[in-house]
Amino acid sequence: MKKLLPEEIEEKSFSIIEKHIPVNLFSETEREIVKKVVHTTADFSLIKKIYFSNGVIELATDILKRGKDIFTDVAMVEAGISPQYLRDYKGKVICEIRNPKVAETAKSEMITRSEAAIRYAVEHNNNIGIFAIGNAPTALFELIKLAKEGHISDFIVIGACVGMVGAKEAKNHLIKSGLPCIAIKGKRGGSPIAATILNGLFKISRRGL
């Protein structure tokens, strides 16, 4: 095999992925996100599982340009965001899963730490514009509940929680809720996918629509 430079490998990979995406299934910017997800996972079956609510990419890039904060349910999502995008980003990346107060709330109220983390973040920060859920279905269920109760506004959700119990249901609930979102249908998902979607949105926002 001919030795290729990293950028040549990525370009060739994206060209291969492009051929597998149905022509009229996604908008131009949605296709960019889809290609990045497939590139990260090497799984073409995810193409038809990626859901975009109407106008969500335009809203997400506007949110990023305004420097709103980003909530991640686990540290692995935060760790997967490319440093080049965070270097001069005006907003903060927030992950409360290891916060001792969150652990106390989870124990006293007999809920998961992921649920408690969402509650804590929303109660203590009114500047969160993106909620990236890459692990816990319970976090996504709680987020939808808080949104319906009017505790959050001007935001989008990345629904990429993973697992055999609750993940599919949580993402179906998200899609049916009408909240602006990008979601991976079914049981598949994970922190790398959530971070990949965030990186894709950053890239689009830096370039402009």
pLDDT in tens, 25-55: 999 999 999 999 999 999 999 999 999 999 9
Mean pLDDT of 17-26: 90
- Give residue for tokens 């599982």: 49
Q: What class is the 6-207 domain?
A: alpha beta
pLDDT-derived band at 201, boundaries 50, 70, 90: very high
Distance in angstroms (rounded) separating the CA atoms of residues 95 and 20: 35
Mean pLDDT of 117-126: 96
The tokens for 63 are 């949110």
The maximal CA–CA distance of the chain, rounded, in angstroms, is: 59
Ranges of beta strands (E only) in the chain are 50-52, 69-72, 93-94, 128-133, 156-159, 181-184
- Phi, psi dihedral angles at 39 (to 5 degrees): -60, -40
> What pLDDT is attached to residue 209?
43
The tokens for 138 are 């319970």
Mean pLDDT of 13-30: 90
Buried b (16+ CB within 10 A) or exposed e, 47-82: bebbbbbeebbebbbbbbeeebbbbbbbebbbebbe
Q: Is pLDDT above 70 for 119?
A: yes
Verify whether residue 39 is a known catalytic residue. Answer: yes
> What pLDDT is attached to residue 124?
96
